[in-house]
Amino acid sequence: MTDRPTDCPTDRHADGHPDRYTVISADCHAGADLLDYRPYLEKRHHEAFDAWAATYVNPYEDLLADTADRNWNSERRLSELEADGIVAEVVFPNTVPPFFPSASLMAPAPTREEYAHRWAGLRAHNRWLADFCAAAPGRRAGVAQILLNDVDEAVEEIRRTKEAGLTGGILLPGAPPGSGVPELYSETYDPIWAACAELGVPVNHHGGSASPPLGDEPAARAVFMVETTWFSHRALWHLIFGGAFRRHPGLRLVLTEQGSGWIPGVMDMLDYYHERLVAAASRAVTAESRFGAGLAASMGKGPSEVWRDNCFVGASFMRPHEVPLRDRIGLDKIMWGSDYPHDEGTTPYSREGLRIAYAGVPRDEVAAMVGGNAARVYGFDLALLDPLAAVHGPEVAEIATPLEKVPEGATSPAFAPGGSVRVW
């Protein structure tokens, strides 16, 4: 799919200690405790917030447990990440923002009546996140949240959060069937893509954020697990076929916590349909030619070229069966993540998670996937992080040693036995 890059980041260390990796988690989550969002809301929303918070029942056990403060306790978080070998993180949302029924990553699209309050809640989260990132300068790239219902408001928030110091880009909401907003391939969103390209703001699309509501029956929950990553993948082909990257060549898309083994097969599929439809459009009018009409002109480059030039994957806890695909995915595209503080994350066994994935992989390649690529995409300063890694980072020799036994208590799918390549 892509040739090995000649300028792929290496494991350079500013302090002259080349025996440890600088690990940046490209997938972590945080948020304020519910009532701590109040000071970040405009005062005109305080009364409504008080009424909402008084009756809200949090549906998430992990946000009610004694470990919930890992989401907002800056010192605890730094300590636990350092103990896990991680010196910096990309911070996605986790806790419930004001006026939302659930975490915003999974919340349904707002009705018109809910819209103003939901926007106020997301702005409050973004303000809180800017302060949270400022508490650990250079070590957190916060991902700002937007809604798609009003594109002009979204662009305004993108510019404001960039100025406020959030360097993780934006979280692109899903547009599942029935959401009431245009599909992601729509040119309606061009002002958003233009602002992100202009400002160098990555567009992040996180797994689990694009599935339609399915209900609570056991079958529905199983179907959700089967389909959720597919619905998240849709953003990739929507933006490619929609021509967003032709109109905005500086746009960067990051697909996070959706795995990575599916990418080669999906890109082969997209190339196939692109070539087939473009070819059909150049022939006499047939049923199929109409499907490809105008596609070549609107898209510009083919899918694999777009992937090569504009796309990245927050592969999270990369699994052993995915690693041999790294050249087909693109070594310069892959960013490892611990998914802290989620139960399915690798904490506190991230070193073991790195070993089970990367033992036997050349050192410069590991360095790129566990930190160098994320530094480049999100603007982390390795000169600041390398001295921290010299103290806290995992040793190169340690990660090179195959993991013989999964730690007791490890809950991450990174340690699941077996596994095959996902092709969709």
DSSP code of residue 189: G
| Amino acid making up residue 296 | A
Give tens-digit pLDDT for 213-262. Answer: 888 899 998 998 899 999 999 999 999 999 999 999 999 999 999 999 99
Retrieve residue 115's tokens.
């819209």
pLDDT at 3: 44
The torsion of the CA quartet 217, 223, 225, 226, rounded to 10 degrees, works out to 170
Of 384, 380, 354, 356, residue with least CA distance to 369: 354
Half-sphere exposure of 267 (CA within 13 A, CB side): 20
Q: Write the burial class of residue 222 (CB in 10 Å: 0-12 exposed, 13-18 middle, 19+ buried).
A: exposed
Give tens-digit pLDDT for 85-106. Answer: 999 999 999 999 999 998 888 7
Residue 95 near residue 32, CB atoms below 8 Å: yes
Retrieve residue 94's tokens.
């986790």
In the chain, what is the greatest distance between 2 CA atoms, to the nearest angstrom?
67
Q: What is the pLDDT along the chain (424 residues), one digit of tens a residue?
A: 544 444 444 444 433 357 999 999 999 999 999 999 999 999 999 999 999 999 999 888 888 888 999 999 999 999 999 999 999 999 999 999 999 998 888 787 888 889 999 999 999 999 999 999 999 999 999 999 999 999 999 999 999 999 999 999 999 998 888 888 999 999 999 999 999 999 999 999 999 888 888 888 999 989 988 999 999 999 999 999 999 999 999 999 999 999 999 999 999 999 999 999 999 888 877 778 888 888 889 999 999 999 999 999 999 999 999 999 999 999 999 999 999 999 999 999 999 999 999 999 999 999 999 999 999 999 999 999 999 999 999 999 999 999 999 999 999 999 987 543 333 3
First to last CA, the chain: 16
Residue 45 near residue 120, CB atoms below 8 Å: yes
Residue 69 near residue 33, CB atoms below 8 Å: yes
Retrieve residue 351's tokens.
């070193």
Retrieve residue 391's tokens.
């103290």
As a whole number of angstroms, the distance between CA 214 and CA 112 comes to: 22
Of 2, 25, 3, 5, residue with least CA distance to 371: 25
Retrieve residue 69's tokens.
């403060």
Of 191, 322, 316, 171, residue with least CA distance to 244: 191
List domains and CATH numbers for the chain. Answer: 24-415 (3.20.20.140)
